[in-house]
Amino acid sequence: MSRLVPRVAQRDGPHIQHHVALTDGAEALQQQLVTYFPQYTLVLDIIHATEYLWDTANALLGETHPQRLAWVRAYLESLLAGQTDAVITALEAEAHDPTCTVTQRQAVRRTVGYYRRNQPYMHYDEYLVRGSPIGTGVVEGACGHLVKDRMEPSGMRWTKGGAQAVLDPAGGAAQWALGGVLEVSSTPTASPVVWPVRHSAGIGRSPSAGVSSLINRLSTNFGHTQIISRTVKILETVFMA
């Protein structure tokens, strides 16, 4: 994480008014972010939050139940409206239902525990209105396209210099989207997405390459109720595909 600090600083400046860092909810990663980037707002990736809802719905209703989508949608709308407390309370009530099996109760409690621990990072209503990203899909998709698809076909092996020669043209073309030319690391490590958000347009300058890009664009074009509704529809499309 310490190696990430100077790289983030290079992209910072007076034009950046809000700083956010998105994670999958791993506690160790969040603690490091608080240590190295104390001025950043931590955000739980909405895709990970939604996955827990689907796991719970599958446990309670079954994967083929006709009401499964409506169940997830209702809870997801509440999460996006900043009502995580209400979601936790409702899920706890589901767990206390005497008709719940042990397996179902365990699934519900796993989701409740995940939401309770990550609750400080789930103010999605505020993030959307401000234009902050709530998902890492656009960055992960770009990394997969610019790096993985080019560098990891079967049998390929690279020296650091050779890899950098391939990445420089691709990274230069995508610099406006990712904030800088890609650099090859001799000791790759997993990192969170640390995102300086432009106050005027969120990530509006990024290409519509992923779900999170579409979600984030909504915040600059629609009112809060419309943002929630359209975000839910996007996420439904992803998880039902």
For residue 44, pLDDT beyond 80: yes
Stretch 91-117: mean pLDDT, rounded?
95
For residue 196, pLDDT beyond 70: no
CA–CA separation, 191 and 215 (whole Å): 22
Model confidence at 89, pLDDT cuts 50, 70, 90, reads very high
Q: Is 66 left (phi over 0), alpha (psi -120 to 50) or beta?
A: alpha
What pLDDT is stored for residue 237 in this prediction?
A: 56
What pLDDT is stored for residue 227 in this prediction?
A: 56
For residue 36, pLDDT beyond 80: yes
What pLDDT is stored for residue 221 in this prediction?
A: 46
Find tokens 């980037």 and name the residue: 37
What pLDDT is stored for residue 80 in this prediction?
A: 93
CA 71 to chain centre: 22
What pLDDT is stored for residue 240 in this prediction?
A: 57
Model confidence at 232, pLDDT cuts 50, 70, 90, reads low
Model confidence at 50, pLDDT cuts 50, 70, 90, reads very high
What pLDDT is stored for residue 178 in this prediction?
A: 43
What pLDDT is stored for residue 208 in this prediction?
A: 34
Distances (CA, A) of 187 to 32, 125, 181, 190: 19, 38, 18, 10
For residue 170, pLDDT beyond 60: no
More confident residue, 77 or 234: 77
Q: pTM to 2 decimals? A: 0.68
What pLDDT is stored for residue 26 in this prediction?
A: 92
More confident residue, 162 or 179: 162
Which amino acid type is present at position 69?
Answer: L
Model confidence at 167, pLDDT cuts 50, 70, 90, reads confident
The mean predicted confidence, pLDDT, of the chain is 77
Stretch 140-158: mean pLDDT, rounded?
78
Stretch 105-121: mean pLDDT, rounded?
96
What share of the chain has pLDDT > 90, as a percent?
Answer: 44
Distances (CA, A) of 109 to 145, 155, 193: 37, 44, 28
CA–CA separation, 13 and 27 (whole Å): 29
